[in-house]
A and B are shown apart, each in its own frame.
Chain A
Amino acid sequence: MTRVSILDGNTFLVSDERGDIEPSFDFPTGLFSFDTRFVSTWILTLDGQRLHPLSIDDSLSYGTRFFLVPGEPTHYLDAKVSVLRSRSIGGSFGEELTVLNHAGQEQEFSLRLDIGADFADVFEIKHQRQKKGRTTPGTRTNELRLVYRRENLHRETVISTSAPGDIDEGGMTFRIRVGPHGEWTTRLQVTTIIYGARGEDIRTTLPLGGHRTAAAIHAEQNELIERAPKLGCDCQPLAGAYRRSLNDLAALRYESIALGVRLLAAGLPWFMTLFGRDSIFTSLQVLPFLPELVPPTILMLAGLQGSRLDDFRDEEPGKILHELRYGETAGFLEQPHSPYYGSADSTALFVILLDEYERWTGDTTLIRQLEHETRAALSWIDTYGDLLGTGYVWYMTRNPETGLQNQCWKDSWNSVSYADGRLPAFPRATCELQGYAYDAKLRGARLARTFWNDPAYADQLEREAAALKERFNRDFWIPEKEYYALALDPEGRHVDALSSNIGHLLWSGIVDESRAAAVARHLLGPRLFSGWGVRTLADDQGRYNPIGYHVGTVWPFDNSFIAWGLMRYGFREEAGRICDAMLSASRYFDGRLPEAFAGYERDLTDYPVQYPTACSPQAWSSGTPLLLLRVMLGLEPQGEHLIIDPALPEGMGRVEVLDIPGRWGRVDALGRSRSPHDGSRGH
């Protein structure tokens, strides 16, 4: 079924192609805000008949227009009446219903809107649970109020109509007369309320801007896009993907319930909240283009840094969070996301982001302000991160009921396996975690030396990094297979599957120079590279499945970091191939790269097959075209300057990015591919 979504930060609405919402317990359709479904039924009928769409205008992220007629599709042409449904979202949700009479005489209609709210938490949809609280409907003149209570938790959905209607507990009915060729309109307003201090909406007692209008969202998105560097290029898919990415990143910004700042939600519909890992990877991707999106994320992650040992939340002092949820299941401890810390990479990635942020922006204030949090993060790597005391970062949840088994980016239960498909015991030490730890130490050393006036600590971190690199190259390398093991099992043996994780090792710089070529060969070889990108798992491994979430699909974000890693080791041609493949794939998704697509061979399907339940837009997929641009143009800050060293894939033609912001002010980067087919080829 086609689904139509609109969003404003973490308030979003998913309906079918008629604009209707039917109660669903397997997919999050409905109106959601702060992890709660405020509308689960929203069905429009005209004289008892469902409507059918003639067309949908969904070009805006925060608004949709549906053109509907009653009856079956074959009767379209004769329609004596049509209905326009025009909706927008901006904190609250508004829908204008217009009935158009196409007949030459007056007609009577009964327009009915069935309305319901189940107040389900996103996790109750994922896991199908019954509500513990009670919903009570209340009717007033032109207003339906649905009230949900569980102990002190109190949420409301209030639906009002501008034109008078008959309000009952299950919806609204409008008995209307419309003159010849005339029209009738009502404006429905849906307000969501989360009660907090002093019986007010929690969002009004905290320093938040509150509800934004659609016009305000429009202005704000435009301003953000206006500030971003301008892209000029011959390659249409690149131009389309860049514009789409900026739009989606603007739409995914939401107001933190706790900070009064704009954070980036991770992905629609399942992940409309703050994730440590996702927000850090996205920040790294967008830094050259939209650096102002980054400090709020850094401040929030620092503010919520782990401070105690808590088994339920997998929390430890110094650890950066995995996931923060605001819903009922987090509040009543049915889920651990208040916040949950089950992530073994976000802590090192936090240090990496801080350093990268300063390199681009020169914002030393933030670096000095967060010295204590950064030190605590570095210290976590060698203390609680090193569960077994072997000099590596390991993970093992202490919350077997609701915690995550795999605490790396591939966090599904079967993502870490031996080549033959067996699953290793816990704790596990995946390879990319060691790469991030290595990079974090080197970057931490730079921060300590340059900003914290602590050269002794800097020296120590550099010594530790060098020792880690040596140890890692000894313990993770599989000589007969010529790649790094996906992980070590608790006995220190190789978990020997061939996976995309080895690409992240290049990004971290932990790979010995002498082994980089072998790693690059594997990444671009037929087992990992599908033609559309690098698969999460090689196609001859025991658990390979081209539509397995982390065991065979292609993830655009993963590929963008692999391309960055290849660039780091000088494999510009190989990096270019990945950029080219990703941009080619993006064309099939209207420029919007999804969370993941299937790992089928390119020759087999001719187009990338979307993963069935992929999130879209997804922040780190939206960030992907931006990082690919960085890689193709070879952008690297060095001191007060920006190095520009373009190496564009064949046929890309001209690429220019104007006004790249940073400590240098603003500079332009220009590149042109060296190929006889310049500009003549679409992708």
Chain B
Amino acid sequence: MGQATEQFFAALPRRAPAVLRGPTDGTLQIDLTTGNRTEHWYVELAPGSAQVSREQRPAEATFTVGADLFEELADGRESALAAVFRNEATLSGNVLLFLLFRRFFPDPPGTRDPREVAREVVREQAGRSE
């Protein structure tokens, strides 16, 4: 298991109060594949909380993805839905639950606040026209 993946799951309970503020709840199963091996993760989502477990339990939705790709989702470099659309990741069950979980994925590394960027552009434009 990659470092970003490990850190991602470890941080879920702490981040849940800020991310999961609606009334939706349910369990999402995440299957991480490496060759013929599959690691199962279960995330129980509830208002303000996320419990992570490796023990098998019933799930309302399943997200299946290569462990390497998940590492890139966990550090923000990749996008989950694009991966689904090119069939590199697959989804089954209650998709709303997955859309909720998707909110945990971080910004791509190095992304700047767009307001900062826009103000910089305006300053440059003003500088050029002087």
Contact = CB atoms under 8 A, between A and B. Distances in A.
Interface of A: 150-154, 195-198, 202, 205-207, 258-260, 299, 303-304, 307-313, 316, 325-328, 330-333, 338-339, 368-373, 383-384, 386-389, 394, 396, 398, 425-427, 490-491
Contact of A384 (B93, B95, B114): B114
Nearest to A329: B85
A310 B82 contact: no
Contacts of A310: 79, 107-108, 111
B56 interface: no
Interface string B66-88: 00000000001001011111111
Contacts of A384: 114-115
Contacts of A195: 87
A313 B79 contact: yes
B87 A206 contact: no
B83 to A, nearest CB: 8
A369 B23 contact: yes
- Across the A-B interface, give the 4 residue pairs with the lowest CB-CB distance, nearest first: A331-B86, A197-B90, A331-B85, A372-B21
Nearest to B119: A388
Contact of A196 (B22, B87, B118, B119): B87
A156 to B, nearest CB: 13
B27 to A, nearest CB: 16
Contacts of B111: 309-311
B115 A389 contact: yes
Contact of A309 (B64, B91, B107, B126): B107
A154 B87 contact: yes
Nearest to B110: A311
Interface of A is mostly: loop
A389 B119 contact: yes
B22 A369 contact: yes
A524 to B, nearest CB: 37
A426 B113 CA distance: 17
Given A152-B86, A303-B99, A309-B111, A394 B81 contact: no
Nearest to B94: A207
Contact of A259 (B85, B96, B126): B96
B121 interface: yes
B118 A258 contact: no
Given A303-B100, A326-B85, A330-B82, A260 B115 contact: no
Contact of A427 (B83, B96, B118): B118
A388 B122 contact: yes
Given A152-B88, A309-B107, A310-B111, A338 B21 contact: no
B8 interface: no
Given A309-B111, A311-B111, A372-B21, A333 B118 contact: no
Contacts of A339: 81
A327 B76 CA distance: 22
B100 to A, nearest CB: 7
B66 to A, nearest CB: 10
10 contacts: A153-B86, A196-B91, A197-B92, A206-B92, A310-B107, A312-B108, A313-B79, A338-B79, A369-B23, A372-B22
- Among A303, A310, A383, A389, max chain B CB count under 10 A is at A303
A312 B98 CA distance: 22
A187 to B, nearest CB: 31
A303 B99 CA distance: 6
A452 to B, nearest CB: 12
B119 A373 contact: no
A338 B105 CA distance: 15
Interface string B10-49: 0000000001011100000000000000000000000000
Contacts of A369: 22-23
B76 A490 contact: no
Given A338-B82, A396-B118, 20 more contacts: A151-B88, A196-B90, A202-B90, A206-B93, A207-B93, A258-B95, A303-B100, A308-B106, A309-B107, A309-B108, A310-B107, A311-B108, A313-B79, A331-B86, A331-B87, A372-B21, A386-B115, A388-B115, A388-B119, A426-B121
Contacts of A331: 82-88
B77 to A, nearest CB: 11
A260 B106 contact: no
A387 B103 contact: no
B125 interface: yes
Given A309-B114, A490-B125, A327 B22 contact: no
- Among B87, B93, B103, max chain A CB count under 10 A is at B87
A189 B103 CA distance: 41
B80 to A, nearest CB: 9
- Among A153, A198, A325, A387, max chain B CB count under 10 A is at A387
A153 to B, nearest CB: 5
Given A153-B86, A311-B111, A387-B118, A425 B21 contact: no
A307 B108 CA distance: 12
Contacts of B117: 398
Given A326-B85, A338-B85, A372-B22, A491 B114 contact: no
Contacts of B108: 309-312
Given A338-B82, A426-B121, A427-B122, A373 B92 contact: no
B38 to A, nearest CB: 13
A260 B96 CA distance: 10
Nearest to A313: B79
A425 B114 contact: no
Contacts of B112: 309
B102 interface: yes
Nearest to A326: B85
B76 A308 contact: yes
B69 to A, nearest CB: 11
A332 B86 contact: yes
Nearest to A327: B85
Contacts of B118: 387-388, 394, 396, 427
Contacts of B114: 309, 311, 316, 384, 387, 396, 398
Nearest to B93: A207
A394 B90 CA distance: 36
A196 B87 CA distance: 6
A427 B103 CA distance: 27
A187 B99 CA distance: 41
Nearest to B83: A331
Contact of B91 (A152, A197, A304): A197
A308 B78 CA distance: 12
A195 to B, nearest CB: 6
Contacts of B79: 310, 313, 333, 338
Contacts of A303: 95-96, 99-100
Contacts of B94: 207
A333 B91 CA distance: 19
